[in-house]
Structure formats: C-alpha cells, structure tokens
Amino acid sequence: MTQLDTSIFKSYDIRAIYPDQADEALAEKIGRAFAKYLNFPDKVLVARDGRISGESMKNALITGLTKVGVNVLDIDLASTDSFYYACQTRNLPGVSVTASHNPKQYTGFKMVKKIPELLSGEAGIKEIKEWILSNDLPADSPQPGMVEHEDIKQEFVDYVASLVDLFQVKPMKIVADTANGMVGPFLEILSKKIPQVEFIKMYWEVDGNFPNHGGDPLLAENRAEIQKKVPEIKADLGIMFDPDGDRFFVIDKKGRFISGDFMTAILSEYFLKRYPGCAIVYDIRASKVVPETINKNGGKALANRVGHTHIKARMKAENAYFGGEVSGHYYFKDFFLCDTGLTTFVYLLDFLSHTPVPLEEIVDHMSQKYHISGEINSTVADATAVLKKLENTYGPQAIAPIEYMDGVTFEMGDWRFNVRSSNTEPLLRLNLEANSPELMATKRDEVLALIRS
C-alpha cells in the first residue's frame, strides 16, 4: 500500500482490497486509532474471518493495540455474530477483521464500541480516518498490553441453542451451504444438538479462497447450485449464510429463493405467537406482506430506515422483539439487538416444527399475492436530480403522500416502490412491488427507464 485510499472507510465498516488498499501497516494504525477513539480501554476483543490475509491482518491490528498499552482477548476465527456474542458477554469493545461477503481479495474491519453499537462513518470511523491521514496516532506505551486467547465456539452455540427447545424440532432434511465461510464450524457443533435433523453439507470447510462460489447469496449465480439440489434430493429446505455469518437465507422445497421480505413476514408470525402484541421493526423497502402479517397477527408494525444503526435504535426505543431487513439481516431482542444468521436459523427451525402449514405452502400464498422486483441498482450522475424527477412524475399520481423516511417511497394503488441512494457509491436502489407479475415487470421497467434516462 503506497497511499491511503479514503474510499475504504464506509458507513458501517472499513472494507478494502488487500494489500493494495489496506495492508498490515494500516492494520496496525487502525489498532492504535481504535484505542485512541475509545480512550485506551483496558482490554479489546479481536477476531477474524477465514480469509487468507486474515491472520496477518489480525496480528498487525493486535500489535497496534498492544503497543499503545491495550490488552487483547483474541478469539481468532469467528463468525460475526459469535464475535458480537463475545463482546456482549465479556463486556468488551472489539474489532473483527472481516470483509463480509466481498470476494477473497478483500479485507476489512467491523468495530464494536459497546454491543449493540458499532463504530460508523458518522461516529468513530470518521475520526480513525482523520487520525491516520494526519498521522495523529498515539505513541508506544512504556507498558505494552498483553494478549490472551479464548475459543468461544461451543459457548456461543450453547447460547443460541438455549433460545428454543431443540428437543421439539421435527425431523428434517436440510441442505446447508456456508460458502466456505465462518458458519461451517458452528453448524458442526449445532448439528450434534439436533440429531433428528439430517444436514446435507455444502462447503462447510473454512477456505479463504472461496473455491466453490461467491459469498453473496443475493446474487443468483451463488445460489444456483443449492436451488437445484434441494428439490433434486427431496430436502425439506435449504439454508445459506454469507461468509461472516451475519446474514441468513432460505430455499424452499421447490427450490425457490425466499426473499428477505417474506422471511421477515414468516418470522414476524412466529414472534407474535411467542410475544403477543409485540413491536416488530422492518425496513422501508419491504413488501406489503410484512406490515399486513404483523397487523393480522396483532403486532405493532414499525417501518424504518435501512441499516443496522437505525434498526437497532428503533428496536431499543420501541422495545421490539424482532427486526428484519430485505438484505437478510435479522435482529433479535434475545440476541442483544444484533444481526445473527445462526440464531435466525434456530428460530426458523422452531417455527417450522410447530406450524401445521409447510414452508412451501406459506411461500405459495405469498408469491401469488405479492410480486416484488428485488433490489435493482442503477449508476447515476446526480441522485438528487433523479429523485426529484421521480417525485415530479409519480407524486401527482400517488394515492398517499410521498414517504421520505429513506429515499422516496410512492404508494400507487396496485403497485408501490422505494428508491434510495447508496451510502457509499453513486447508485440508486429500486425496490418495487405490484399486485401481478405483469404489472410488476411493466412498472419496474418504466421506473428504471426514468432513473437511467
């Protein structure tokens, strides 16, 4: 790395190509800056995902922390949700060296101030960037910090398993794809607790080269194999995790990918049975099936801005039990308001073991009534001008006032859509829903043409 590329400092984390944009020298500086931002805590928890560069970047980060006098608890290989668990139960701030679902050449840092609060572009990441740019970093301490090591895998799985009664889980055959990421070792431990579930393993070995497919299950090519396999072997369902394990995705018996909106609705019904009348937070992009399901089951439906910072804050303010995002992030009161893939899976198992309606029938019903585009990105030169053009075009036709909670949301009667700007790129993101597949396709293309013209 020759010159610092400030684009690596994102809204929710640091993410960069290794070693061109971020190397061990930068990792050490991040360690020093993190210690400074938190006013030199006694101890910081450190973890990493399975990327090839992960160990050397983690060790450099630890060097930066210990040189300025901070002690380190190193839990080494960890999924993001197990890292959150460790920070919560040890009452420590932490840094995980992870680039989530990005390709193998990436590295990155997720930084916890105090669970569930992470450093963000508005608080923490901005200061770290400025201090590194100006070389305003703390000098070596005369008393270096010490490093201790701990393996929290079993303890984390035991906690997740305690959230439901696993003895009540029905026998099932489940295809599980962990994309050579961090969830495989945790599923191995969990599988021993539910012997009545037959797991068909796909890529449970941690391999930072990601030799089988990419890490983002929202890309169709990364889930094509499991979507074919589930109906082929007559499995009950398929599950997918991204490489760091904070997102969770489901394939039904027919091989259909279940969108984050539908999963949020399904889990909302489950939580309203467990906690009648509870508040549930969902992101503004979601299908109408989400608030309709919550309202039908007697809950309090709360639409919210996209992003973990906003979801967590709303859940805390409203004492909500569950929050869901279209992107496959799910948050739970019983998991410290954090997003967690493994916990979502355990709750889904519990739901499927007690509902008389098979998952594929639930999806049949939803897919007949709700037709969604999924999130579609468009590169634009002037996002503000495009959003204004959309307001001028569709505002007069809308059946309700334009919603400005996150981007712009239009209610058009038999169809609706949200368009919002990316936090980090010159992109506009479209999510559209209609009452028929034909109308969805027509309106999707119409709105995209206006965005891209």
Active site (catalytic) residues: 100
Q: How far apart, in Å, are the Cα atoms of 103 and each of 6, 220, 242?
A: 20, 15, 11
Amino acid sitting at position 430: L
Amino acid sitting at position 433: E
For residue 352 the two structure tokens come to: 């499927």
What is the Cα–Cα distance from 372 to 185, expressed in whole angstroms? 34
User: What are the backbone dihedrals phi and psi of residue 225, each rounded to the nearest 5 degrees, phi first?
Assistant: -65, -45
In terms of C-beta density within 10 A (0-12 exposed, 13-18 middle, 19 or more buried), how is residue 241 classed?
Answer: buried
For residue 437 the two structure tokens come to: 């597949």
Output helix, strand, coil percentages for the chain, rounded to the nearest 5. 40, 25, 35
Greatest CA separation for the chain: 70
Give the DSSP H/E element, type plus range, for residue 89: helix 80-90
Amino acid sitting at position 165: D
What is the Cα–Cα distance from 182 to 40, expressed in whole angstroms? 30
What is the Cα–Cα distance from 339 to 329, expressed in whole angstroms? 6
Cite the DSSP H helix spans in 91-232.
125-133, 153-161, 183-191, 220-232
Candidates 287, 282, 286; CA nearest to 299 is 282
In terms of C-beta density within 10 A (0-12 exposed, 13-18 middle, 19 or more buried), how is residue 397 classed?
Answer: exposed
**Cβ atoms within 10 Å, residue 103:** 13
Residue 46's contacts (CB-CB under 8 Å, 6 or more residues apart) are: 58, 61, 62, 65, 72, 73, 74, 75, 94, 95, 96, 97
Q: Which residues pair with 9 in a beta bridge?
A: 14
What is the Cα–Cα distance from 422 to 56, expressed in whole angstroms? 31
For residue 428 the two structure tokens come to: 């506009």
